Chain A
């Protein structure tokens, strides 16, 4: 039993019960950008998930980044306010895509930014992964459209050497109406912003003071503030000031991912010995105070959040609205796909979710998808698994299909030879048709191909490697 909130401290409660250490982190931001000029921003852009991304696929991407060079986690807590399914655990798809063993526990923690704090506490108690992801959808012209962002962040706890120690945390819970959304609606509502701002202002100040008091330190180096109330975000620096920095999520309010993205952004740049105060003001206020260890310099994610935020691919406003189902475009004159069937999907889970093929033990021929009878030497049932999701590949040939059904035509598909053996044909995600070429390098990314009959077709796509990524690998 891990208690993070016991003890009579008035509205603010002291947290304890942290047994595991923060040992890794990772983030994911979609590649697409909506031009600020399309949504009423003076400049800049908004980070938006592609048509084939949802909270589950983005959670997989962030989790993959976080667990790189670590042992597989034995717990996964997945927080999202935009779950792909109800009445079905979404964390199981993350679990499957990461290739975790059946005995690893995976569960959803649903709702709001508070769920991320819950996931973080659970992971800090049991060890494992706290991953949060959201696709924030706002009505055209809304603040959520203008000031929100889509993304995911994952924090890995375990027994290994810590990159940051949790030195204090406090919580308070408060019931009032600031932001809400009916479960059957994709866009949310807000009360008059000034009401929530007044409430959150008091909560944040009190929580920050109590945290410093608990830690016995006069100030912190980095402050990360997460709050769905934009007035609070604007006042962040005056509410609590970090000696080095006071920041919020670099993509705008990102729902459950907001606080975790902010923390990961701070972990990207914190110096050993410095403190990070995470303040998550959502229906109350929760804080986590961490101090970076010497390990942090060598444990940063491969691509920093700032780098992920830069650049990106433009998407037209109309296309974006179609991706979110806010407008319906004329489809190709082709039938919609059948929904993926449960039993075949379950039988093929290793391939469909974990991109694991098979290698013939007799002749070494790699089968993607796995096969029982070797296509090279004909020997049956002598195969060992070949996970390829973390490998690279090379395009053999490719096409842009303007006739095929797709949630966002055209379909771009390529035949890919995988490093170390094996060939498969996959769709290209975040396709830039002009960069396609025979010989181009790709990686693999977990995506949602389409949704039919209420069933999401999760599978892997290939993605052209960034020139920068290619140099690293």
Chain B
């Protein structure tokens, strides 16, 4: 696959993000107003009228652009609603960036929102078209689909299942520790490894603490042409790469697929690295926000992004390489695991952490000298998914090594 990318053509100049969690007292409209309000008010003199166009991502908390225009009361502005499974928030951002890069608009806002807790059910709901009733995803929940990674990974790499379990526990432990330092995270209490190990099982060996938080929330980003970025902020966040891959979903029917990798992630990472000029992600990235929907997912992503060699993620995670003070901090804001996963907002929430880190506004979880970040959203399940990768940075021009 080849893509030219839009490196250094657009910049994020403001962002907003609600607290994620069980927002029983806030409607979808309330969440939208809260995130957009934070974003707009952060730029002095800016008002909603200055925004030329909007992209709204939501999996199922509304339909059409009216979901946003009605909530904000925008007058006759273009609003596009997008949906791409759990990569929905990133998809909103990607399309908004292209709208600016194309020259069609000068000021565009990407918004993502999800109100999951109103359904009364556990986990995500599906809105499938009428079907023949044979698709496995109709009966299998997301945690179960991702739990398939665990036995397959152990079998392929000869990893002792007990050590795999230990690494999964470490991922949950790390992300909860990180989230405890994030005032906007859904879960703010550190969780002991004993509690994680002893939690009731949801699917396969995944317990409650191996699963991301089901939550309500919204996030947004204001995007302008790179050359005008400093009119809005002293520290713009430049977009270095945007990649999206929708797989042919052949993993579900291809005996060559072994459930120890996401080929879609590998391809989107390669594309994004090429767009941004990254050849050594471990050195060139300051932090990574990846789609830790379930703990084995994060382990496998470490290998798909080249942060770990194949078969090494378990050991690398266990020695703390991806901890907040490790070689490459991964999900320093708590990730989907403890920040929560309001689907349409999550991709923008990842960018929000990069934004805060670049602004030196990340409080007690501030990473020293944060200059380049990777964000990653995954939608679907092992064997058939969409994968989004962005690279953002604080400076124009080639990334330093």
Q: Footprint of B on A, CB under 8 Å?
A: 332-335, 337-341, 343-345, 347-348, 351-352, 365-369, 371, 375-376, 396-406, 411, 413, 415, 417, 421-427, 438-439, 449-450, 457, 459
Contacts and interface: CB of A to CB of B under 8 A. Distances in A.
B138 A337 contact: yes
B143 A403 contact: yes
Nearest to A460: B134
B133 A396 contact: no
B255 A421 contact: yes
A354 to B, nearest CB: 12
Nearest to A400: B204
A334 B141 CA distance: 9
Which of A366, A367, A397 is the most central at the interface, judged by chain B CB atoms within 10 Å of its CB?
Answer: A397
B259 A397 contact: yes
Given A398-B148, A413-B139, A438-B155, A403 B134 contact: no
A337 B134 CA distance: 12
Contact of A333 (B122, B130, B133, B155): B122
B134 A369 contact: yes
Interface string B301-340: 0000000000000000000000000000000000000000
A423 B255 contact: yes
A411 B144 contact: yes
A376 B144 contact: no
Nearest to A436: B151
Nearest to B145: A399
Contact of B132 (A341, A426, A438, A439): A341
Contacts of B133: 337, 339-341, 345, 352, 449, 457, 459
B258 interface: yes
Given A401-B203, A403-B202, A413-B139, A375 B122 contact: no
A375 B259 contact: no
Contacts of B143: 401, 403
A404 B124 CA distance: 11
Contacts of A333: 120-122
A411 B143 CA distance: 12
15 contacts: A332-B122, A334-B123, A337-B138, A341-B133, A367-B253, A375-B254, A397-B149, A398-B151, A399-B144, A406-B139, A411-B140, A411-B144, A425-B252, A438-B155, A459-B134
A423 B141 contact: no
B147 interface: yes
Nearest to B146: A399
A385 to B, nearest CB: 15
Contacts of B132: 340-341, 344-345, 347-348, 351-352
B121 A415 contact: no
Contacts of A345: 132-133
A438 B153 CA distance: 11
Contacts of B255: 396, 417, 421-423
Contacts of B128: 338
Contacts of B254: 365, 375-376, 423
Which of A333, A338, A343, A351 is the most central at the interface, judged by chain B CB atoms within 10 Å of its CB?
Answer: A338
Given A403-B122, A411-B139, 4 more contacts: A334-B123, A348-B134, A396-B259, A413-B140
B252 A404 contact: no
Nearest to A395: B151
B125 interface: yes
Which of B120, B130, B144, B257 is the most central at the interface, judged by chain A CB atoms within 10 Å of its CB?
Answer: B144
Contacts of A344: 130-132
A371 B250 CA distance: 11
Nearest to B147: A399
Contact of A399 (B121, B131, B148): B148
Which 10 pairs across A and B sit closest by C-beta, in order of nearness? A340-B133, A341-B130, A401-B144, A375-B250, A425-B136, A397-B152, A457-B133, A399-B204, A348-B132, A344-B132
B131 A402 contact: no
A450 B138 CA distance: 11
A360 to B, nearest CB: 12
A368 B148 contact: no
Interface in B160-203: 201-203
Nearest to A403: B141
Interface of B: 119-123, 125, 128, 130-134, 136, 138-141, 143-145, 147-149, 151-152, 155, 201-204, 248-250, 252-255, 257-259, 383
Contact of A413 (B121, B144, B258): B144
A192 to B, nearest CB: 46
A368 B141 contact: no
Given A334-B123, A399-B204, A404 B139 contact: yes
A401 B252 contact: no
A134 to B, nearest CB: 25
B203 A399 contact: yes
A449 B122 contact: no
B253 A422 contact: yes
B323 to A, nearest CB: 28
A110 B135 CA distance: 32
A396 B203 contact: no
Contacts of A413: 136, 139-140, 144
Contact of B144 (A365, A404, A457): A404
Contacts of A417: 255
A415 B260 CA distance: 13
Contacts of B152: 396-397, 438
B131 A340 contact: yes
A401 B140 contact: yes
B130 A397 contact: no
A112 B302 CA distance: 63
Contacts of A449: 133, 139
Contacts of A398: 148, 151, 204
Which of B130, B139, B255 is the most central at the interface, judged by chain A CB atoms within 10 Å of its CB?
Answer: B139
A449 B258 CA distance: 27
Nearest to A438: B155
Nearest to A344: B132
A421 B250 CA distance: 14
A458 to B, nearest CB: 8
Contacts of A335: 119, 121, 125
Contacts of B155: 397, 438-439
A376 B250 contact: yes
A143 to B, nearest CB: 36
Contacts of A339: 133
A402 B202 contact: yes
Given A335-B125, A375-B253, A403-B122, A427 B204 contact: no
A338 B120 CA distance: 18
Contacts of A396: 152, 255, 258-259
B141 A404 contact: yes
Contacts of A397: 148-149, 151-152, 155, 259
A398 B121 CA distance: 24
B253 A368 contact: yes
B252 A423 contact: yes
B217 to A, nearest CB: 21
A432 to B, nearest CB: 16
Contacts of A411: 139-140, 144
A130 B209 CA distance: 54
